[in-house]
Structure 1
């Protein structure tokens, strides 16, 4: 429990902290929508609160979906408002398996899996309810919400990456995560013709993309690289890049060069040559200043001070 609380302290201030941030977004959306739903019903203005909730609900009818296509992603950050079990279960599983993804392949891969899982789950859900007669006949419901497809993607990805990693479950004992993921898939498959057929179909879509993502990553292809590029683009619109002036002068003599080298050595830092500086500046242009390592920032700082 202490580790859990530590992960969420100052979650927004720490870089590379995607897992707590995703969970906080889900909880925040749940609270806001629950409050809107409550006061909408009390005040008799259900139409307003329902309109807002609809922006986080992916409809089953494709024609309706076309009027709010953003729900292909936003549905994965909303949950059933009639209780807390839906969001509680999703967030716990996300935390358990998400920590493995972050530890072994990094924060960006966790974000990639979450987004790809949501998209895959939503697309398969739409295809099934608009192409298969059995489901078309049963498509008269408001729509689907929940992070489950994204969570399934992360769960199956972790089990594909580390099949023999063991969780110690209460009342059961040690269980390899490949069996946990397999159990989830079987349950969703059986439920694909039940009362929550849409949700279970989305689960299977998320699970499939989680498996394929890791297999492609192991072969050298990252299907989610475009997600990181989009994130950096939008981040660059709001984060002001530092203006850094870098100048160089030719040394007048070998002795002055030795003197400069000695001075640099005494401070414990190495001033980067022009090729290194150019590479660092290119990295800033592509990924932003915050993408630099501590050593790269120090080299850039030293170069800017050189006169």
Structure 2
């Protein structure tokens, strides 16, 4: 089985958390290839310009020229270490999050946390004098604000949940989240990545608000997810409806049972093939049939 087929199969069968990680990794690899290609032709500035078009700017007027960047920036990363730690945090805390909430809420908090981080980032750069003295609009990228929203959403909802850390042992989740927030606050005066750290705080605040409403039975992601569904449906290709008429009489019990036995026989054959030759020996159609049968 080719590795690309394995990745596609894993993505298709994976949940929201798996798909978020795959999308982030895919975007990182795509821009890495762009960087390499343009570097070989001594045109690195073009690669930088392309990346900037998907990074959220601090200048609201610049955002009007690329409104999509307020969403795309949260899937874009600077370098390998940047994406490595973000994806590790997303995986670790995302799994804890899913113990208390459903996958659609995870997706909603990811996007809303990213939007909250971008908003605080832009507001800060246009209000605080120490940040407003820039000749051209700074840009921001990364999933950190989204991840912080998931971390603080989980920690605020279940503050006494314990995680086991190397050398420290069991630590309450809220203490771990507060420690991460303190590190961001300490880093703000350095002005090296102040906007990014402020964005983290924006994500954390969104996560805490989500949890506070969740304890009261309210889900702030519900309307946002509906909006995103409608937005996706607007740009997705709608299949053409085909109306067919059939004079075939309804299937009787005998025909139904015959079809059921035939289907079960096919599944038994596939299982026998797995026993003798392994899962990788199955064709794509056989894997689909087995997957569909397991969900019925």
Q: TM-score, normalised by structure 2?
A: 0.74
Distance 1:106 1:38 in 2: 39
- Of the structure 1 ranges 202-211 and 25-34, higher mean CA displacement relative to structure 2 is found in 25-34
- Of the structure 1 ranges 204-213 and 97-106, higher mean CA displacement relative to structure 2 is found in 97-106
Which of 73, 76, 84 aligns to 1:75? It is 73
Equivalent position of 2:26 in the other structure: 28
Equivalent position of 2:149 in the other structure: 153
CA displacement at 1:219 relative to structure 2: 1.9
CA displacement at 1:157 relative to structure 2: 0.5
Q: Check whether the contact 2:59–2:137 (CA below 8 A) recurs between aligned residues.
A: no
1:243–1:224: structure 2 CA closer, same or farther, 3 Å change rule? farther
1:139–1:197: structure 2 CA closer, same or farther, 3 Å change rule? farther
Equivalent position of 1:213 in the other structure: 210
Runs of 5+ unmatched residues, structure 1 = 1-7, 246-262, 268-293, 299-307
Distance 1:63 1:54 in 2: 15
Equivalent position SS for 1:66: helix
Indicate yes or no: 2:79 matched with 1:89.
no
Q: Check whether the contact 1:129–1:139 (CA below 8 A) recurs between aligned residues.
A: no
Q: Which has the higher contact order (CA 8 A, sep 6+)?
A: 2
Equivalent position of 1:144 in the other structure: 140
Q: How does 1:97-246 map to 2 (within 5 A)?
A: 97-137=93-133, 142-194=138-190, 195-233=192-230, 234=232, 237-238=236-237
- Of the structure 1 ranges 229-238 and 147-156, higher mean CA displacement relative to structure 2 is found in 229-238
Distance 2:171 2:73 in 1: 31
Distance 2:96 2:240 in 1: 32
1:191–1:244: structure 2 CA closer, same or farther, 3 Å change rule? farther
1:109–1:239: structure 2 CA closer, same or farther, 3 Å change rule? farther
CA displacement at 1:80 relative to structure 2: 0.8
Distance 1:80 1:100 in 2: 27
Distance 1:191 1:139 in 2: 23
Q: Check whether the contact 1:101–1:109 (CA below 8 A) recurs between aligned residues.
A: no
**CA RMSD across the alignment:** 3.0
Give per-residue Cα distances to partners, 1:37-85, cap 9 Å, x unaligned.
122122123343223211221122223222212211211101113xx11
Distance 2:166 2:8 in 1: 26
1:60–1:231: structure 2 CA closer, same or farther, 3 Å change rule? closer
Equivalent position of 2:49 in the other structure: 51
Q: Check whether the contact 1:60–1:139 (CA below 8 A) recurs between aligned residues.
A: no
Equivalent position of 1:62 in the other structure: 60
Q: Check whether the contact 1:155–1:210 (CA below 8 A) recurs between aligned residues.
A: yes
Q: TM-score, normalised by structure 1?
A: 0.71
